[in-house]
Amino acid sequence: MSIGDERREIVTQDAAAPRWVGIIVVALAVVSLAALGAGWTASTKSKELAQTMATQSQQVKQNEDVLSQRLAKAEDTNAQLQGELSVVTDRMKLTQGELKKARQQAAKIKEEDAKELANLQNQTTEQLATKASVDDLNKLGTDVTTVKTDLDATKNNLQMARGEFGTLIAKNHDEIEELRRRGDRDYYEFTINKKNDREKVGELTVELRSVNAKKNLYTVAIFVDDARYEKRNRSANEPIYFFVHGSRAPLEFTVNTIGKDKISGYLSVPKVNTAHAQASGNGN
């Protein structure tokens, strides 16, 4: 081999050496990248784990706070229930005292009732012993009441005025009832509340024409069968008479109360009467 060939071989060997170096470098680079990736992954997981632990720690703290609040509320409720239980206990004691007092009062009332019943029995025995005397007194009282009633009737008769035909003139409803009880005549009470209104009163038809309340005067038109008779400026308790054909007993028309556009009174009719009336008036 010549010198030139040796140089060529050396050059060739020197030129091939860096290829392995590159492979090693590449391998080292890959290993470095893998290590870097593993480190980054581990770092990320470490951060996530730390964040998770922080969240759980915060949650645990919140739960502890909630438990503390519930415990405090439970203690307050317990204290309130204890207070209410104390009040109920006091009231039960009071109720028992009132019940005892009520029983004592009931026993006292029962005792008093027994005494009153005994007294009543004694009084009844005494009254039965004097029953005959009491009956006599009652009879005497009945006789006195009858006499008093007769005297009251006589007094009422004296207070009532009599008309020109001798009939008693009633001035109010009570006196009309008194005359009605006598049974001599029939009485028809009436009230006319408005001028120019016609009101049927017994066998008559009455129309109120005018009223002078200040002077206590009134004017009416009275219709009997087909006839009309007007009575002017009549006063209260002044009777107006109408005779029935064939009878000497008159119908008596009397006004007791005179108000504003209003009159009230009664019509007195004999028990024995014919079906038709002939007006022959007393006055205008």
Helix, strand, coil percent content, the chain, rounded in steps of 5: 60, 25, 20
> Considering only CA atoms, which of 204, 233, 202 is closest in space to residue 219?
233
Predicted pLDDT at 133: 60
Burial zone of 273 (CB within 10 Å; 0-12 exposed, 13-18 middle, 19+ buried): middle
SS3 label, residue 205: strand
CB 172 within 8 A of CB 156: no
**Per-residue confidence (pLDDT) for residue 67, from 0 to 100:** 78
190 vs 51, which has greater pLDDT? 190
18-45 confidence digits (pLDDT tens)? 666 677 777 777 777 777 777 778 778 7
**Neighbouring C-beta atoms of residue 281, cutoff 10 Å:** 15
CA–CA gap between residue 242 and residue 229 (Å, rounded): 10
pLDDT at 187: 94
Q: Which residue has the tokens 């109408």?
A: 242
* Confidence check: pLDDT of 71 > 50: yes
**Residue with the larger pLDDT of the pair 108 and 254:** 254
Q: How far apart are CA 230 and CA 254, in angstroms?
A: 14
Closest to 224 measured CA to CA, from 278, 160, 161: 278
The span from the CA of 51 to the CA of 58, in Å, is 11
Give the predicted TM-score (pTM) of the model: 0.42
Phi, psi (rounded to 5 degrees) for 73: -65, -40
Enclosing H/E stretch for 254: strand 250-259
Provide, rounded to the nearest whole percent, the portion of the chain with pLDDT above 70. Answer: 73
Token pair in block for residue 15: 């030129």
Beta carbons of 173 and 163 less than 8 angstroms apart: no
Please give the Cα distance from 215 to 235 (Å, whole number): 8
166/174 Cα distance (integer angstroms) = 20
Q: Is 113 helix (H, G, I), strand (E, B) or coil?
A: helix
pLDDT surpasses 70 at 13: no
- Does residue 264 carry a pLDDT above 50? yes
Give the span between the Cα atoms of 75 and 90, in whole angstroms: 23
Looking only at the bridges linking them, the beta strands covering 185-192 and 198-201 are unpaired
Lowest mean pLDDT segment, chosen from 133-137, 208-212, 240-244: 133-137
pLDDT average, residue stretch 236-247: 80
Which of the residue ranges 7-11, 78-82, 123-127, 251-255 has the most confident prediction, judged by mean pLDDT? 251-255
pLDDT in tens, 197-239: 888 998 888 999 999 988 999 999 998 777 888 999 999 999 9
**Alpha-carbon distances, residue 162 vs 121, 157, 159, 257 (angstroms):** 58, 9, 10, 18
Question: For residue range 155-171, what is the model confidence (pLDDT) as tens digits?
Answer: 455 467 776 677 889 99
Q: What burial letters (b/e) apply to 32-67, b meaning 16+ CB within 10 Å?
A: eeeeeeeeeeeeeeeeeeeeeeeeeeeeeeeeeeee
Higher pLDDT, 282 or 135: 135
Higher pLDDT, 123 or 138: 123
**What's the pLDDT at 245?**
66
pLDDT band at 5 (very low <50, low <70, confident <90, very high): low
Query: What average pLDDT is seen over the chain?
Result: 76
Report the pLDDT value the prediction gives residue 278, as an integer from 0 to 100. Answer: 43
Query: What single-letter DSSP state applies at residue 252?
Result: E
Which pLDDT score is estimated for 26? 78
Q: How far apart are CA 86 and CA 92, in angstroms?
A: 10
Q: Cα dihedral angle (190, 193, 196, 199), rounded to 10 degrees?
A: -20
